[in-house]
Structure 1
Amino acid sequence: MSGVYDFTAKSLAGEDVPLKRFEGQVLLIVNTASACGFTPQYKGLEALHQELSQRGFSVLGFPCNQFGNQEPGDAKQIEQFCTSNYAITFPMFAKIDVNGSGAHPLYEYLKREKSGLLGSSIKWNFTKFLVDRAGTVAARHAPTAKPEGLIKEIEALL
C-alpha cells in the first residue's frame, strides 16, 4: 500500500467505502468513542469539518471499543449518538480495532507511518492522524490535542 487512499473501510451502514473517494483531500482520521472523557471533541471535529470541507478537508471517524469499553454500541446506536448529540456530518465508519491482531489495515498503516508515545500502538480514543492531499500521513496527535488547535496545521496542507 502506498497511501491512505489505497484502503477500504465499512461505513456505519455496512457499505464498503474505498478511501480513494477522498483522494486529493486533506484528512483528519480519528478513532472515536461515545462514552469517553474526550467525546466532547466531536464538537470541535464537526466545527473543523464544517469550516474547511469546502476547501478539500474531511474528518473521518472510526469508532473503537478497545479503550475502557467506551464504544459498546452497535452501528445504529453510534450513528444515533453522533447525530443527536453532536450533529455530526463528517463520514463515520463501522467500529474497528486499532491495536492488536485484529487491527484494521488502515490503522496498521497509520501507526507504521507515525508512531506515538507508545511506539506504534494507539494510546487511547481520539488519537488523530493528519493526512495530506497525496494520502501521506503528515502528523499524529495525542487524544489530548483539541481539534481547534490543529486548524493552522490543517490550513497549511490545504
Structure 2
Amino acid sequence: MNMYDFSVKTMDGGQQSLADYRGQVVLIVNTATKCGFAPQFDGLQKLYETYKEQGFTVLGFPCNQFQNQEPGSDSEVQEACRINFGVTFPLFAKIHVNGPDADPLFDYLKKSTRGLMGSAIKWNFTKFLVNRNGEAVKRFSPMTAPLKFEDRIVSLLK
C-alpha cells in the first residue's frame, strides 16, 4: 500500500486519485488558516515554488479537528489561503485526521510514520513527506518549519 492507492475529495466535491502524483515527491499537510502555525503556509509555498519543476508538490488538507481553527466552508478556506497566504499548491476538501471519521489517506500516513504521540496527529500542520514511489518516509511535527527539512526534499528529488 502507498499514497497512490487513495483518492481524496476535491474542494469542488469531486474525487482525485493520488496516483495523479505518481513519480513526484509530495509533502502532505493538514492545515488550518486560524492556527498559530498558519505562517508556515509561507514556507510551504516557497518550497512548492522552488521545487515544483523538479517533481515536487505540496498537498494541503484543511482540518477543523483542533480547537475550531478551520471553521469555514471549503470555498472560504481556499479563498483565505489564496488571499492571506498566497497559496497556489493544491488544496483539498476539509477532512478529519484522527478518530473514526479520519480520512483513509491519513490513517495510512499515521501508520507509516509514527510520531511522538504514537500514530495520532497532535495538531494542525503535521507534515508527511512521501517519496517518488508513493511511500510515506518521514513525519514532521507541527512545530517544525517547512524550510527546516528542505534538505530532505532535495535528497528525495535527486
Same fold (TM over 0.5): yes
Residue identity in the other structure for 1:67: F
The residue number in structure 2 matching 1:154 is: 153
Identity %, equivalent residues: 50
Range 4-13 or range 55-64, more displaced: 4-13
The residue number in structure 1 matching 2:73 is: 74
For each residue in 1:66-94, what CA deviation from the matched residue of structure 2 results, as whole angstroms up to 9, or x when unmatched?
A: 00110000011001101101121110000
| TM-score (ref. length: structure 2) | 0.98
How far 1:138 sits from its partner (Å)?
1.0
The residue number in structure 2 matching 1:4 is: 3
- 1:110 and 2:109 are equivalent in the alignment: yes
Q: Distance in 2 between matches of 1:65 and 1:121?
A: 15
The residue number in structure 2 matching 1:47 is: 46
Residue identity in the other structure for 1:11: T
For each residue in 1:19-72, what CA deviation from the matched residue of structure 2 results, as whole angstroms up to 9, or x when unmatched?
A: 000010000000000100000100110000000000000000000000011000
- 1:57 and 2:56 are equivalent in the alignment: yes
Residue identity in the other structure for 1:103: A
| Aligned-residue CA RMSD (Å) | 0.5
- 1:38 and 2:2 are equivalent in the alignment: no
Q: Distance in 2 between matches of 1:120 and 1:138?
A: 14
Residue identity in the other structure for 2:152: E
Moved over 6 A (4+): none
| TM-score (ref. length: structure 1) | 0.98
Gaps of 5+ in 2: none
